[in-house]
Structure 1
Amino acid sequence: MRSIALALLLVVTVGPAKATPRTLTDAELKDRVQACILCHGEQGRAGPDGYFPRIAGKPAGYLYNQLIAFRDGGRVHAAMNNIVQPLSNAALWEMASYFSAQHPPYPNPAPSKASTAELELGKQIVTQGLPGKQVPACVNCHAAGLMGVEPYTPGLLGLPRDYLTAQIGKWMNGQRHAAEPDCMGTIITALSNPEINAATAYLASRPVPKDTTAAPAGSVSFPMECGTHTQTAKPTTHTVSPEPVELSLLTESEKRGAYLARAGNCMGCHTSERSKPYAGGKGIQTPFGIVYTSNLTPAANTGLGKWTADDFYKAMHEGISKNGHYLYPAFPFTSYTRMTRQDVHDLYQYLRRIKPVEQATPKAQMTFPFKQRQLMTVWRALYFRGGEYTPDPRQTAQWNRGAYLVNGPGHCAACHTPRNSLGGLKSDQHLGGGTIPVLNWFAPALNAHPRDGLGQWSISDLVDYLGSGKNRDRAVTGPMSEVVAHSLQFLNRTDLEAMAVYLKSLPAQSPDEKSNTVVARQNLEPLLRKGETVYQQHCVDCHGSQGEGKTGAYPRLAGNSGVIAPNPANAIRMVLNGGFSPSTRDNPVPHGMPPYRGELSDADVAAVVSYVRQSWGNSASAVSGSEVNRLRSVQ
């Protein structure tokens, strides 16, 4: 067994960050990291219960790599995974650097409940190691003061024992893992449970030294090679979705294909692991089961390696795979059929330049009788009308371009058009808005309706929203964050304007969906009074006393179609789970919304959402505590 130190128990999924300069001031960062402050405190100090670890003063590279691990799946914590999902390396580096620079005082350690013998064993492991097991001392990796080493080794003092033990437990059950060679995987094998408990007890009992700064880089000679020290995620990109192929290496046809892949958000759906773009395997939840996205890399056995351009066109245009199987409409061929033959060919040419990844697509897990693909014959007869888009001669070239992008590669109808019980799009309510099946997010109407749609939006408002994830008084949330992060931010302004012109031209039509929430009249007034109290305590600083928000930062709540939608799920989920808008080129470090699921009860959330939905001119239904409880388990 190779030497390993318990001191590496908090090592992370990726390696040291380069010392990239910060671009925002502390005041600017503090305003943007409100989603972090609610749990970790203004200066990143842990709460007394130990549920939220101290992040203040830890090496920036360590914090950065922790955030990368949460974003990319190396660490599992539903709230954290959700919050950082749409953020780029650059945004995570800014956040890590901010909290690293904070130095509030450490609390005194809690009285230890460990026995003298247990503490002595822990002291031996921490300061001397266990030579018989080839486990060196913790101080060999985290420096003599146990306050860590720049740029990526954290301090081990000032942390509750329960937290230390819980992190080891997550490694044991597979919720945490490190880059190979995985130091923590080895240490779990090397140490017994009593030895681990003794070490965490001793660490938690030790007072923090006066000098809390981490030891300088290079001051410690680590006892072993560790993957987390050598694999670096560079904080250089201002987007969360880097291009997998250098565009300068592509032909003109392939470049057009790359652009179309962005327009269709192909990578967003066909990537289950960030290190394997376009390799598929991502599960798409439907009311009829789970469909897994296919491998679009040119892998010979599991991807498109043996597909011809005609095979690919048939799949895109007719929804029929190379093997003759009808494709499930979770793949939006009902929209892609509108794409021209040339565009499909360019997309095919680009996908053949992606790095091949041999990764088999899991079999769809459909419920009976939908697992029988032959039933798709009936579905297609009812709901599929193939055919390339035909420009409308009565409209301008700009309008037609927008209609093509929205209804073809952009497949906006997949979310923004309601579906019937068999999953067919309701064509008479095209882009009329509705709840996305299974996901439980409400997609608003994309037409000129003044309340529920885009009637009050200017062309510029809509272009900014689609391209940067925010405009003067709105911010992207929910599934739309992924669309902006992986797709729309990469479209040129001319195309975004074309889409906006087309959408704004659609006749006003409110969503057919109606609220099913009922709050008794006698309960409404006290509910709203309570909601106003919660709003004044937690929301007014960012969203304003009249729900006006802060221009370019926090969205306006008054008249916000996402807030007053027939289904209140969006508002409830944002209060519970919080989150960030996506990192984009025009908004690289977005503002965040704190998750209040730990701060507010179901009744509190129901009250504040009801208050927001019925204040400042808003006139939407109130919300019940049971409705909040139903969504509490949904991230």
Structure 2
Amino acid sequence: MKTKYWIWIGAVLAAGAAAAAAWVIQPAIAPIQPPAANDFDSAAIARGARVVAQGDCMVCHTAAAGAPYAGGLPLRTPFGTIYTTNITPDPATGIGNWSLSAFTRALRHGVSRDGHLLYPAFPYIHYTRMSTVDIEDAYAYLMTRTPVVATAPDNDLLLPLRFRPMLAGWNLLYLRPGPVADNPAQTAEWNRGRYLVDGAGHCASCHSTLGPIGGERSPAFSGGNIDGWDAPALTALLQAPKPWTREQLALYLRHGWSPEHGAAAGPMGPVAHSLSLVPEADSNAIATYIMSLQTPARPAPAATAAATDKTAVVQGATLFAGACASCHGAAAPMMANGGRPSLALSTAVNSERPDNLIQIVLNGVPWSHPDQHTFMPPFAASLTDAQIASIAAYVRADIGKRAAWNDVEQRTAKIRKENQQ
């Protein structure tokens, strides 16, 4: 009996080793001559622009002050820094000599044209779910962008992770190649929303916690952290002080602002801008799917003043009056005439951690494009860590009516340092 047991274990291990080897040993796909722009159908290019916007590709593949899609943006991970690659059609440093089959393999299987395995910071575990048509259209769009000569800096990773064949084991655990069939029990809009959320949108990449080796933990959408910002749980939108509705979420996704919940900030700002470039039906479908994932609403806590450091609250009230009230005070024109929600409804104010409120005060909400609905100047240069902590104490206790956060000043100092790095 024991002999049979060990034979079975050996067979499983052998099968796993063979599968891993299959991932590691990936052949190069021959380079091609860069195709001309007129080799692609104009309708396919237009559809590809929509797909690329759904995936927010330009944001990750564009460095600060860099050319669009030329890569070089540093992505901080628990394992080090990964720099995004050039996906313009430059043949030497971009994807200009990639065939459609090479491009498809990268999205479906996480393998580069030359056969090396890609790091899962590139969310191919989600892109694999994209349809063949969408991948073809995205290829047409990217291959008709302006070529840019740009080589990304070398990744700065922990030594063992520089050995890319190790990614074969990661793929065995987390990659399930190929699209997922529609659910016939759901509406066409729901299926479209799931396709966008789980595919090109790769929402779980930010809104899920990551395990020890960087894989998304189950359940998905239970909240995560990206670039020092907390990404809230997408399954708890009914727990907000004012529960989200499908209509409010669709508006927020499309415009980066909701009159009942506030403005998108941090990494979510560029996502909302990208979604503003796609048809309204896409944001509606995403909202329909996400709202179907909600856990039941819990009774709201009593709106009582939080027990906190009264001195900090008093100091914060004074600072708030001088630095913030002209925009966020109840009588401010932006609030009274602009239909802006009270800070009491803000996700940053009601979060279990102060990180997002700290980030917003430090960095503001930069003005990045003409159609943006919100702007806030940064206060990193004008407020100390202690002053930001006092403002946070006041906003949390007096406006939000929530229990105090702990160690906000220390957390502010840490976030400021990380941002500078």
Is 2:76 the counterpart of 1:289? no
Counterpart of 2:353 in structure 1 is 567
Three-state SS of the structure 2 residue aligned to 1:477 is coil
Q: Which amino acid aligns with 1:496?
A: S
TM superposition shift of 1:291 = 1.5
Q: Is the contact between residue 575 and residue 596 of structure 1 (CA under 8 Å) also seen in structure 2?
A: yes
1:461-483 deviations in whole A, cap 9, x for unaligned? 22222222222241121111222
Aligned counterparts of 1:583 and 1:360: Cα–Cα separation in 2: 27
Three-state SS of the structure 2 residue aligned to 1:345 is helix
Aligned counterparts of 2:296 and 2:386: Cα–Cα separation in 1: 33
Q: Is the contact between residue 580 and residue 593 of structure 1 (CA under 8 Å) also seen in structure 2?
A: yes
TM superposition shift of 1:555 = 4.8
Is 2:230 the counterpart of 1:442? yes
Counterpart of 2:9 in structure 1 is none
TM superposition shift of 1:505 = 1.1
Change (3 A) 1:371 1:620: farther
Which residues of 2 match residues 557-596 of structure 1 at below 5 A? 557-580=343-366, 582-583=368-369, 585=371, 587=372, 590-596=373-379
Is 2:312 the counterpart of 1:527? yes
Aligned counterparts of 1:598 and 1:280: Cα–Cα separation in 2: 29
Is 2:416 the counterpart of 1:632? yes
1:125-179 deviations in whole A, cap 9, x for unaligned? xxxxxxxxxxxxxxxxxxxxxxxxxxxxxxxxxxxxxxxxxxxxxxxxxxxxxxx
Is 2:261 the counterpart of 1:478? no
Q: 2:223 aligns with which of 433, 438, 441?
A: 433
Aligned counterparts of 1:292 and 1:280: Cα–Cα separation in 2: 7
Aligned counterparts of 1:452 and 1:507: Cα–Cα separation in 2: 12
Counterpart of 1:463 in structure 2 is 250
Change (3 A) 1:406 1:557: same
Counterpart of 1:619 in structure 2 is 402
Three-state SS of the structure 1 residue aligned to 2:172 is helix
Is 2:113 the counterpart of 1:315? no
Three-state SS of the structure 2 residue aligned to 1:370 is helix
**Where in structure 2 are there 5+ consecutive unaligned residues?**
1-36, 298-306
Q: Is the contact between residue 403 and residue 502 of structure 1 (CA under 8 Å) also seen in structure 2?
A: yes
Three-state SS of the structure 1 residue aligned to 2:184 is coil
TM superposition shift of 1:451 = 2.9
TM superposition shift of 1:459 = 2.5
Q: Is the contact between residue 297 and residue 351 of structure 1 (CA under 8 Å) also seen in structure 2?
A: yes
> Could you state the TM-score of these two structures normalised by the residue count of structure 2?
0.80
TM superposition shift of 1:616 = 4.1
Q: Is the contact between residue 271 and residue 280 of structure 1 (CA under 8 Å) also seen in structure 2?
A: yes
TM superposition shift of 1:581 = 5.4
1:291-323 deviations in whole A, cap 9, x for unaligned? 222221222222222222111111101111112
TM superposition shift of 1:618 = 3.7
**Where in structure 1 are there 5+ consecutive unaligned residues?**
1-245, 511-520
Is 2:54 the counterpart of 1:263? yes
TM superposition shift of 1:554 = 4.9
Aligned counterparts of 2:125 and 2:401: Cα–Cα separation in 1: 36
- When Rg is computed on C-alpha atoms for both structures, the one with the higher figure is 1
Q: Is the contact between residue 259 and residue 340 of structure 2 (CA under 8 Å) also seen in structure 1?
A: no
1:87-129 deviations in whole A, cap 9, x for unaligned? xxxxxxxxxxxxxxxxxxxxxxxxxxxxxxxxxxxxxxxxxxx
Is 2:286 the counterpart of 1:495? no
Q: 2:325 aligns with which of 518, 536, 540?
A: 540
Q: Which amino acid aligns with 1:575?
A: V
Three-state SS of the structure 1 residue aligned to 2:318 is helix
Q: Which amino acid aligns with 1:626?
A: Q
Three-state SS of the structure 1 residue aligned to 2:238 is coil
Change (3 A) 1:352 1:621: same
Q: Is the contact between residue 281 and residue 361 of structure 1 (CA under 8 Å) also seen in structure 2?
A: yes
Q: Is the contact between residue 337 and residue 388 of structure 1 (CA under 8 Å) also seen in structure 2?
A: yes
Change (3 A) 1:375 1:551: farther
Counterpart of 1:304 in structure 2 is 95
Aligned counterparts of 1:420 and 1:380: Cα–Cα separation in 2: 14
Three-state SS of the structure 2 residue aligned to 1:466 is helix
CA RMSD of aligned residues (A): 2.9
TM superposition shift of 1:592 = 2.6
Q: Is the contact between residue 353 and residue 405 of structure 2 (CA under 8 Å) also seen in structure 1?
A: no
Higher mean displacement: 455-464 or 568-577: 455-464
Aligned counterparts of 2:223 and 2:317: Cα–Cα separation in 1: 29
TM superposition shift of 1:546 = 9.8
Q: Which amino acid aligns with 2:115?
A: G
Q: 1:418 aligns with which of 171, 190, 209?
A: 209
1:360-382 deviations in whole A, cap 9, x for unaligned? 33332211211111211222222
Q: Is the contact between residue 481 and residue 581 of structure 1 (CA under 8 Å) also seen in structure 2?
A: no
Counterpart of 1:601 in structure 2 is 384
Change (3 A) 1:328 1:602: same
Change (3 A) 1:333 1:524: same
Which residues of 2 match residues 388-407 of structure 1 at below 5 A? 388-407=179-198
Counterpart of 1:451 in structure 2 is 239
1:462-513 deviations in whole A, cap 9, x for unaligned? 222222222224112111122223x111011111111111111112289xxx
> Identity of paired residues, percent?
37
Aligned counterparts of 1:297 and 1:604: Cα–Cα separation in 2: 44
Three-state SS of the structure 2 residue aligned to 1:295 is coil
Aligned counterparts of 1:565 and 1:273: Cα–Cα separation in 2: 29
Aligned counterparts of 2:143 and 2:63: Cα–Cα separation in 1: 19
Aligned counterparts of 2:196 and 2:224: Cα–Cα separation in 1: 21
Q: 1:252 aligns with which of 40, 43, 61?
A: 43
Change (3 A) 1:601 1:424: same
Aligned counterparts of 1:349 and 1:599: Cα–Cα separation in 2: 47
Aligned counterparts of 1:595 and 1:273: Cα–Cα separation in 2: 17
TM superposition shift of 1:535 = 2.5
Q: Is the contact between residue 234 and residue 294 of structure 2 (CA under 8 Å) also seen in structure 1?
A: no
Q: Is the contact between residue 330 and residue 342 of structure 2 (CA under 8 Å) also seen in structure 1?
A: no
Q: 2:291 aligns with which of 504, 519, 528?
A: 504
Aligned counterparts of 2:337 and 2:159: Cα–Cα separation in 1: 50
Change (3 A) 1:332 1:298: same
1:13-59 deviations in whole A, cap 9, x for unaligned? xxxxxxxxxxxxxxxxxxxxxxxxxxxxxxxxxxxxxxxxxxxxxxx
Change (3 A) 1:327 1:275: closer
Q: Is the contact between residue 238 and residue 296 of structure 2 (CA under 8 Å) also seen in structure 1?
A: no
Aligned counterparts of 1:526 and 1:326: Cα–Cα separation in 2: 55
1:335-370 deviations in whole A, cap 9, x for unaligned? 101101111111112222122223233332211211
Change (3 A) 1:303 1:632: closer
Change (3 A) 1:362 1:471: same
Q: Is the contact between residue 546 and residue 616 of structure 1 (CA under 8 Å) also seen in structure 2?
A: no
1:198-233 deviations in whole A, cap 9, x for unaligned? xxxxxxxxxxxxxxxxxxxxxxxxxxxxxxxxxxxx
Q: Which amino acid aligns with 2:268?
A: M
Which one has the bigger helix percentage?
A: 2
